[in-house]
Chains A and B, each alone.
Chain A
C-alpha cells in the first residue's frame, strides 16, 4: 500500500489528485438508500466545510466535537475540521430510547475539561446545547448544509507530530479519556497494519461500526481512506436490528474485509435465517477484535457460513486499542488462528500457563504477532519482565503510540512509562504470538464497548431505592451472545419494591452510559458480602452470584 506523505491531509490530497472519480465511501441505509462519495467529492465537501469553520474563528488545535448519526456530513465535517487545523472527535450520542438530558448532563465535566467551544450535531439532539461551556457554539447540521458546498480552501499541511484527532471510546460515563493521536502515529499504523494484512487500494471494507469507536474510526474509515480503498458503511443502529444487512453489503460490493467484535459473529449466526445464502467468497478476512475472541464463536460462524463460500483463512483476530491508534497484533492471513488449550485452574489460580488435556480446560485464541514497529512486553506485578509461562500485564511500545490523554497529564504519566504503554490487559506470549486472558482492573467489555464497574456502581448509587455505596457491578461470560453480561447487585433501602428498583436502575444506567445491564439483583440491607477491609467485595459477591446461577 502506498501511503505517501507526512500528514493525513497530504495523503488524502495525493489520493484525490491521482483519481478524483474513484469511489471512497458508500453509506447504505436499510430503506435502500445509497450515498456514494468519490475521493474528489469527499475532498471538496471537506475543504468547503473547513473554510466555513475557519470563518467561525476556530483556532489551531481546538477540539471540534461531532455527534452525528449515519450521514455523509459526519465524514466531511470530521475531515474538514482537520483541514481547518482543528482536532476533530466523534462523540457517542443518545439513542431515541435514552434520556438525552441525563446523557448529556454527564458530559458537562468533560466539555469543561477539554475546553471545547464548538460542536456539531443534529436538531433532535438539541439537549447537547444545554451542557456546553458558556459561550460555546453548537452547529446543527440541518442549518449549515451550505457549508459543504461553495469555495474549498487549500488546507495548510500539518506537522507530522501535531495532533490529528481525539478518540473517546474509553470510559463509562461522561468523563471519557480523550486519546490524542498524531498524524505520524496514524500514518505509521495505516502502513504497518496494511502490511500485516496485505491491504491495498483494491480492497473493499464493509462496516457497521460506529465511528466514535477506534475499530470503526481507524480500521473502517481512516485506513481505507489513506490507502485509497472503498469503505461501505452501514448505520450501527440499523445493523443491530438487521444484522444481515452487513452480509447484503458484502455480497453487493464484493467486500474483502470486515472488522467486528466477537458478539457480532454470534449475532450474525443467530439472526441469519438458515435458508438464506450470501456469496461471501470475496472476503479475505472477518477480523475479530475489541472484546475477548472465542474459538467457539468462530466454529459456529464457520458452520453457518461455510456454505456461503467462506474462504478457509477468512476468520482472523487482532488485538487493538485506541492508544496504539488501532492494531497491536494481527494473526497471519495465511492460516487459521492458533487455538491453545490450557489448564484453566492453574491459569486462574496463579497465572501459570500449562497445556491442558484433562480437568477444567480453557481454549484461547491467538491474537497473532505484533504488527511491524510494535513491541510487546509481559510484566509482572513489580513491573519487571514476567517469567516465561506466566501471565502478566501487556505493555506495548511502538511508532503508533498516542501522545497522551487530553488534559489528563497524571493519567498519561501513570499509563505511559518510559515510552511503554501499560494496557491493563493480562496475557502471555507463546511462540511469538500474543494470547490475552483477561483484565487487571474492573473494565467490563460488553458487546465490544468498554465500561468500568466502579463508574457503573457510582451511577447506580444515585438511584432512588438504592443504598448508596451498597452496590457491586461485574461482568460474567455469556456463551450464547459471545460477549459478557454486566450484572449489578444492590441493597435496597426499603422505600421501593424490587421491581421498581430494577426498572429504575436499569433505565438510569442505560440513559447515562448506554449500557443495558443484564440483571439487577436487589438484596436486603447489609447482605452483600464485605471484604476484610470492610469494602463490598466484587470477587466474593460475583462468586455467590455465579453459585445462584450455575448455568453461567
Chain B
C-alpha cells in the first residue's frame, strides 16, 4: 500500500470516527486541529486502523504520535512486518 493510499485510508477512518471531512486531514494534522480528538476517541481511531488494515499497533506507541503522519508511518511499518 502506497503512502498516499494509506493516508487516505487512515483519513477516512478519522473522518468517520470524528465526523470531519477526510479531505481536510493531512500528514501534518494534529489532534488539536480536529474537534473531539481526545484520548478516548484516539483509542477508537487506533482500534479501527488495526481492524481495517488487519494489523496490531504497539499500544505503548498509541500516545507517542505527534501527528497523522506519525500514525501513517507506524501503520506502514506494521504492514511491512505482516
The segment from A374-382, A406-414, A499-507 found at the interface with B is A499-507
**Contact between A240 and B32, CB atoms less than 8 A apart:** no
CB distance from B57 to the nearest CB of A (A): 10
CB distance from B20 to the nearest CB of A (A): 11
Contacts of B79 in A (CB 8 A): none
CB distance from B48 to the nearest CB of A (A): 10
Given A242-B59, A270-B44, A271-B44, A516 contacting B33 (CB threshold 8 A): no
Contacts of A273 in B (CB 8 A): 51
**Contact between A240 and B36, CB atoms less than 8 A apart:** no
Residues of A near any B CB (own CB < 8 A): 30, 95-97, 238, 240-243, 263, 267, 270-271, 273, 447, 478, 481, 485, 499, 502-503, 506-507, 516, 518-519, 551
Contacts of B80 in A (CB 8 A): none
Give a binary string over B35-62; 1 marks a CB under 8 Å from any A CB, 0 the rest.
1111111011011000100000001001
**Contact between A243 and B36, CB atoms less than 8 A apart:** no
The 6 closest A-B pairs by CB, nearest first: A516-B38, A519-B35, A506-B32, A503-B32, A241-B62, A241-B43
CB distance from A552 to the nearest CB of B (A): 11
**Contact between B43 and A240, CB atoms less than 8 A apart:** yes
**Contact between B63 and A97, CB atoms less than 8 A apart:** yes
**Contact between B32 and A507, CB atoms less than 8 A apart:** yes
**Contact between B30 and A516, CB atoms less than 8 A apart:** no
**Contact between B44 and A96, CB atoms less than 8 A apart:** no
Given A96-B63, A97-B63, A273-B51, A240 contacting B39 (CB threshold 8 A): yes
Contacts of B38 in A (CB 8 A): 516, 518
Given A240-B40, A241-B43, A271-B43, A503 contacting B35 (CB threshold 8 A): no
Provide 17 A-B residue pairs closer than 8 Å at the C-beta atoms, listed in order of the A residue: A30-B59, A95-B63, A97-B63, A238-B59, A240-B39, A241-B46, A241-B59, A242-B43, A243-B43, A271-B43, A447-B40, A481-B40, A485-B36, A502-B33, A503-B33, A518-B36, A519-B36
A97, A240, A263: residue with the most chain B Cβ atoms closer than 10 Å: A240
Given A241-B63, A485-B36, 9 more A-B residue pairs with CB atoms under 8 Å apart are A95-B63, A97-B63, A240-B39, A241-B43, A242-B43, A242-B59, A243-B43, A507-B32, A518-B38
Q: Which residue of the partner chain B has the closest CB to A447?
A: B40
A242 to B46, CA, bound (A): 11
CB distance from B1 to the nearest CB of A (A): 23
CB distance from B25 to the nearest CB of A (A): 14
Q: Which residue of the partner chain B has the closest CB to A503?
A: B32
Contacts of A270 in B (CB 8 A): 44
A499 to B31, CA, bound (A): 12
Q: Which residue of the partner chain A has the closest CB to B30?
A: A503
Contacts of B62 in A (CB 8 A): 241
B40, B46, B47: residue with the most chain A Cβ atoms closer than 10 Å: B40
A499 to B26, CA, bound (A): 14
A329 to B12, CA, bound (A): 44
Contacts of A481 in B (CB 8 A): 40-41
CB distance from B33 to the nearest CB of A (A): 7
Contacts of A243 in B (CB 8 A): 43
Contacts of B46 in A (CB 8 A): 241
A502 to B47, CA, bound (A): 26
**Contact between B36 and A499, CB atoms less than 8 A apart:** no
Give a binary string over B1-36; 1 marks a CB under 8 Å from any A CB, 0 the rest.
000000000000000000100000000001011011
Q: Which residue of the partner chain B has the closest CB to A240?
A: B39
A271 to B44, CA, bound (A): 6
Contacts of A503 in B (CB 8 A): 30, 32-33
Q: Which residue of the partner chain B has the closest CB to A515?
A: B38
Contacts of B41 in A (CB 8 A): 481
